[in-house]
Structure 1
Amino acid sequence: MSAPISNQPQQMQMGVVQQGGGLPPSLQYLAGLDQIIVKQKIEALEVLTGFETRNRYAVLNNQGQQIFFVQEESSLCERCFCPMNRGLTLHMTDNNSQEVMQFRREFKFCTGCCWCGEGCCNMQFTVESPVGRQLGSVRTGDSKCKAHMKVYDASDKHMFTLWGPCCPCQCVCGCTDDINFPITDPSLTTQVGNVAKQWRGCCVDTFTDADQFCLTFPADMTVECKALLIGALFLAEFYVFEQQKNNNGGGAGY
């Protein structure tokens, strides 16, 4: 089990704090980081019964220490009968159980369609920090055969783009490499980071649906941008890998 940081570190440079004005103090811990790990918790009830439970995640620094915790809030009915389309809120709290960020997705009858990712089937996470103050959003884009996501700031300016692979699969039969979603500028000419779904080992990845991700970004990137990229990581999780689970591994549902 990962050891949580009991007192949220406050390693903040004055210039970075000003850039992130209005953000919760404990979120400023992101200012000194260039990498975080997000581990989904294994739910015993889901493993034993296949019953779709609320997802939970630990957010770790590169020393394996827990810095934040994320828990899903969603309708039991939607999780059971329309899991891929369900509306949900992800609450991210610090180690003192104070909510520092929130990701929200509305229920949609159609979502994740390859041809109209920017149309009626658009999947979107709204990112707020603190709760009630919108930092921006992450949305799916037209993709055809690859996962395509765009990151926008609070003024709806396109900040980053992520493209996933055509076949984002992992299995014990040899596909154990990380699945990468490079993060680029809107022109696609400069890579600024990466979201990687990591292989957790034969037992975990074969017999559970607990995912693990690594998010990398420049250490000097603003805290707001890092927060938005965490939202992009969770959109990748629900847009691609949650759909794979609910399709019994039969494709990403683009």
Structure 2
Amino acid sequence: MLLEHIKIDQLVIHQQVEILEALIGFETNNKYEIKNSLGQRVYFAVEENDCCTRNCLGNLRPFVIKILDNSGREVINFERPFRCVSCCFPCCLQELEIQSPPGVPIGYVTQNWHPFLPKFTVLNEHRQEVLKITGPCIVCRCCSDIDFEIKSLNEETTVGKITKQWTGVIKEMFTDADNFSIQFPLDLDVKMKAVMLGACFLIDFMFFERSGDSNTERGGVWQ
């Protein structure tokens, strides 16, 4: 069953530091530990991609991320198709499909066009809108956390947040191994909790993954 730890209102995601990537900038498949609020590992996430796609397309790359439970069983898949990162054309807006069990869609995260803010809509398996996600105008901040607020459909109520955690000057400068936390209502539908986890990975790739042709740029201003 997906997200067996259903009675949770917070997840913490720690991306593992890859030595080869840190030393020479060679992009490797991302790996993450997913923990509960007590620091106990509940899932492990691994990206599946080929060397050429990772290093030529950088943060633009399509990906499949598999979520494994502590017994190594695959319980969730995240699939992102290739699209250019641009808010000028609707065909370039990002989308992520969440599957559980793998092959069975349970929800989607779609990027919304906005001139200043990173905005997303969370949808269920029938593509019905459930929640909204709104980020800050300036996504890159030094020495502070960055919050993406999870909101009701009318965007009047904040029900949670996805936070990119500041990990210190050394780690931020020399690696793209990021830490995130996700807070959501305890009684949120378990499928939507899985979709929120997917939204966190999409945000990581869009705004905090180093591009393939630059090892110095992180984050940036939403354009």
Fold shared, TM-score > 0.5 on shorter chain: yes
The answer to whether the aligner puts 1:64 opposite 2:31 as a matched pair is no
User: Mapping of 1:1-254 within 5 angstroms?
Assistant: 24=1, 27-29=3-5, 31-108=6-83, 111-116=84-89, 119-170=90-141, 175-242=142-209, 248-249=217-218, 251=220, 254=223
Corresponding residue SS for 1:126: strand
CA contact (8 A) 1:115 1:143 kept: no
Report the alpha carbon displacement of residue 243 of structure 1 after superposing the two structures with TM: 5.3
> Which amino acid letter does the alignment assign opposite residue 148 of structure 1?
K
Aligned residue for 1:84, secondary structure, equals: helix
Counterparts in 2 of 1:151 and 1:243: CA distance versus 1, 3 Å: farther
Task: Give the secondary structure class of the aligned counterpart of 1:120.
Answer: helix
Cα separation, 2, equivalents of 1:177 and 1:165: 13
Give yes or no for contact 2:87–2:93 (8 Å, CA) kept in 1: no
Gaps of at least 5 residues in structure 2 are none
Q: Distance in 1 between matches of 2:213 and 2:110?
A: 21
Whose radius of gyration is greater, 1 or 2? Answer: 1
CA distances 1:100-148 after superposition (whole Å, capped 9, x unpaired):
100001123xx221233xx110211100001111001101110222211
Higher relative contact order (CA 8 A, sep 6+): 2
Amino acid at match of 1:232: A
- Distance (Å, rounded) in 2 between the aligned partners of 1:193 and 1:141: 19
Deviations 1:74-103 (A, max 9, x none): 121111111132111000000100011000
Q: How far off its partner does 1:235 sit?
A: 1.2
CA 1:98–1:135: 2 relative to 1, 3 Å: same
Root mean square deviation, CA, Å:
1.7
The answer for unaligned runs of 5 or more in structure 1 is: 1-23
**Matched AA of 1:228:** V
The code of the aligned residue for 1:161 comes to K
Structure 1 runs of 4+ off > 4 angstroms?
A: 243-247
Task: Determine the C-alpha separation between the residues in 1 that align with 2:221 and 2:178.
Answer: 14
SS in 2 for 1:143: coil
CA distance in 2, matches of 1:213, 1:74: 22
- Structure 1-normalised TM-score? 0.82
Q: Distance in 1 between matches of 2:9 and 2:48?
A: 28
**Paired AA for residue 44 in structure 1:** I
Deviation for aligned residue 1:67: 0.6
Aligned residue for 2:59, secondary structure, equals coil
8 Å contact 2:60–2:211 — kept in the other structure? no
Query: Could you say if the C-alpha distance between residues 245 and 86 of structure 1 is closer, same or farther in structure 2, counting changes exceeding 3 Å?
Result: closer
Tell me which amino acid in the other structure corresponds to 1:162: I
Give the length in aligned residue pairs: 221
